[in-house]
Amino acid sequence: MHIDLNRSSNKSLPQQICETLSQRISSGLLHQGAQLPSVRGLAVSLKVSQVTVSKAYAELARRGVINCSQGKGCFVAETEHKQSQEGAGWQSKYDDYLPRAQLWRNFDYSEVKYPFHLAAIHSELLPLDYIGATMASLVTKQPELMATYGNFQGDFELREMMSGHLQSRGIALSSSDLMITSGAQQGIDLVARTFVGPGDTVYLEAPSYTGAIDVFAGRGAEMIFVPMDSEGMRVDLLTKMCDQRPPKLIYTCPTFQNPSGVTMSMTRRQRLLELARSYSCLLVEDDPFSDLYFHTPPPPSIKSMDLDGHVVYMKSFSKVLAPGCRIACVAAEGNILSRLIAAKSASDLGSPLLTQRAVLPFISKKYDTYVGQLRNALRGRMEKAAKLLKEYAPPGVNWVLPEGGLSLWLELPSALGVGRLHDLAERESISFLPGDVCYAGDTPSRHIRLCYSQMNEADMEQGLRLFLRLLSRFLA
């Protein structure tokens, strides 16, 4: 079993082993009942003492994650969670470099009637007719678009248009500074595989986006989570933390942050950029939601203040237009961008040209009007959800209403039993995102994320009412 150990980390080696195994188990990468390597075997392969491995196993056993018995060895405990696929004998011993996969575990509940876990927008709110008509016209008039490998960097016409789109939002870049990716997820992945390696320090907000954490974990990064308050990431604390461990990369979602909903203040944005410059490191600004404000526009993007290419800016159009088209735009400069394009080539030889061209006319002609209507619709949803929360949420449950975006971040009285609540909800065909997957370690979280825009309005209201009743019974 391959585990990236960082001997200069603040975390002890037993802690690191324990956390990685715990993440593998909760991600379903180690199936229930699977036998763990022997203490001796793991100690040899990780080049640590047997005492170190024993300590890690003892802690996992104490938490009930594994069961150990003298002479037989240690096994992953059986829980009510979904079973992952078992492999032939030799397969379980075949090492991988995949320490965690919480997206895989927590994203796909296509069977669930009330999918609150997914931060997405219901199809009736999306401009599918327009994009569909464009696509139908393209395949009829230019079928050769389906025959062409796209440019690795992304279609030139789409990038030209995106450049204008970003300029209207204060980001003065040309088409040559942009790259098209299959969603922002791929953008984050490309940055990580290109610039982050074992032991590199990556700072993120606490909590942060599960998909980014999965990716950085897969690169063996040392992830450090920076506390937030109502103005976003505590850049003052980050500054002190960087004194101890200089950053290789900082990942932030400054506007209507996923999952907390918090927006970073202008002052902090400036300070954060200054910090990245002073350390000559990259700052990844993930911005799926800035157009989705409910009352006043958020502060300008950090990228709009970037003068020397420290910010890699990710603008997803997937969520807002058509998730199935998987179109996002990455803005970066110089050889930071050219190296990302090189990585994109090895990753999938470029995104499909057709889907790129299919969203182009809509973004260039209709986007601003559309997004204004979408904002109103989403605010309506959020207000409905807020009303239900006020009415039905049991005492001890707290939340701050978001100023934009797609989700609510609920604080429960205790982290205890969130897993059990998740199972109970699933039985009533309700899903939510447990907060602990928004951290890299395995500290239990008392938060959960609920998305109010993924169902039609009636289902959302019905589902939320059901869930809040369940929550009341559960807490009682």
Q: What angle do CA 259, 30, 417 make, to 5 degrees?
A: 50
Considering only 23, 52, 163, 186, the residue that binds its own copies (CB under 8 A) is: 186
CB neighbour list of residue 157: distance below 8 Å, 6 or more residues apart: 357, 360
Q: With both helix axes pointing from N to C terminus, report the angle between 334-348 and 183-195 in degrees, rounded to the nearest 10.
A: 110
185 binds its own copies (CB under 8 A): yes
- Name the one range near its own copies by CB under 8 A: 9-17, 79-87, 361-369, 428-436: 79-87
Q: How far is the CB of 321 from its own copies (least distance, A)?
A: 9
Q: How far is the CB of 224 from its own copies (least distance, A)?
A: 19
* Helix, strand, coil fractions of the chain, as percent rounded to 5: 45, 15, 40
What does the longest C-alpha to C-alpha distance in the chain come to? 71
- Tell which positions 142-181 bind its own copies, by CB under 8 A: 143-152, 181
- Tell which positions 444-473 bind its own copies, by CB under 8 A: none
Which helix (H) or strand (E) segment holds residue 229: the answer is strand 228-229
104 binds its own copies (CB under 8 A): yes
- Name the one range near its own copies by CB under 8 A: 44-52, 78-86, 231-239, 445-453: 78-86
Q: Which of 85, 16, 389, 324 is nearest to 182 (CA)?
A: 324
Q: How far is the CB of 401 from its own copies (least distance, A)?
A: 26
Q: How far is the CB of 125 from its own copies (least distance, A)?
A: 9
Residue found under tokens 């999306």 = 126
Considering only 53, 242, 337, 378, the residue that binds its own copies (CB under 8 A) is: 337
Cβ proximity to its own copies, 309 vs 419, nearer residue: 309
Considering only 164, 170, 227, 324, the residue that binds its own copies (CB under 8 A) is: 324
CB neighbour list of residue 400: distance below 8 Å, 6 or more residues apart: 230, 261, 262, 409
Residue found under tokens 């139908």 = 136
Q: How many CB atoms lie within 10 A of CB 240?
A: 9
Report how far residue 176's alpha carbon sits from residue 71's, in angstroms, rounded to the nearest whole number.
63
- Name the one range near its own copies by CB under 8 A: 15-23, 46-54, 294-302, 346-354: 346-354
Cβ proximity to its own copies, 1 vs 410, nearer residue: 1
Q: What angle do CA 457, 290, 449 make, to 5 degrees?
A: 50
129 binds its own copies (CB under 8 A): yes
258 binds its own copies (CB under 8 A): no
**What mask of x and - would describe binding to its own copies in positions 267 to 306, judged by CB under 8 A?**
-------------xxx------------------------
Report how far residue 141's alpha carbon sits from residue 199's, in angstroms, rounded to the nearest whole number.
51
Alpha-carbon dihedral 25, 29, 35, 38, rounded to 10 degrees: -80
Q: How far is the CB of 348 from its own copies (least distance, A)?
A: 4
Q: Quick check: 57 and 39 in contact, CB under 8 A?
A: yes
Cβ proximity to its own copies, 87 vs 372, nearer residue: 87
Token pair listed for 127? 């401009």
Cβ proximity to its own copies, 135 vs 460, nearer residue: 135
Token pair listed for 355? 């889907």
Considering only 23, 182, 263, 407, the residue that binds its own copies (CB under 8 A) is: 182
Q: How far is the CB of 357 from its own copies (least distance, A)?
A: 10
Q: Quick check: 353 and 145 in contact, CB under 8 A?
A: yes
Cβ proximity to its own copies, 143 vs 396, nearer residue: 143
Token pair listed for 148? 């062409």
- Tell which positions 410-439 bind its own copies, by CB under 8 A: none
Cβ proximity to its own copies, 129 vs 391, nearer residue: 129
Considering only 25, 42, 101, 221, the residue that binds its own copies (CB under 8 A) is: 101
Residue 239 sits at φ, ψ, to 5 deg, of -55, -45
Considering only 1, 53, 126, 223, the residue that binds its own copies (CB under 8 A) is: 126
Q: How far is the CB of 83 from its own copies (least distance, A)?
A: 11
Q: How far is the CB of 472 from its own copies (least distance, A)?
A: 31
Positive or negative: CA dihedral 225, 231, 234, 235: positive
